[in-house]
């Protein structure tokens, strides 16, 4: 019973961490939208996707 409770509590902690990370990413994207223009943003995402694909291979 105690073990179950511990695992559930750690799961909830990881969920909150994920939410915080996703919020930070969303905030970064929104702030960078104000910072850069639309075209630069599209190019940035294009190169980011290419870079991720290069890493995954």
Mean pLDDT value of segment 13-39? 71
pLDDT over 80 at 46, yes or no: yes
Alpha carbon distance 6, 29 (integer Å): 35
CA distance 48 to 7: 35
Q: Is the pLDDT of residue 25 over 60?
A: yes
CB burial readout 31-52, b (16+ within 10 A) else e? eeeeeeeeeeeeeeeeeeeeee
Average pLDDT, the chain: 69
Domain boundaries, the chain: 2-56
């Amino acid at each position: 019973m105690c073990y179950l409770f511990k695992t559930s509590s750690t799961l909830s902690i990881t969920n909150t961490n994920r939410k915080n990370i996703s919020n930070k990413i969303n905030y970064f994207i929104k702030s960078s939208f104000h910072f850069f223009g639309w075209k630069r943003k599209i190019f940035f995402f294009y190169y980011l996707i290419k870079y991720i694909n290069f890493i995954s291979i």
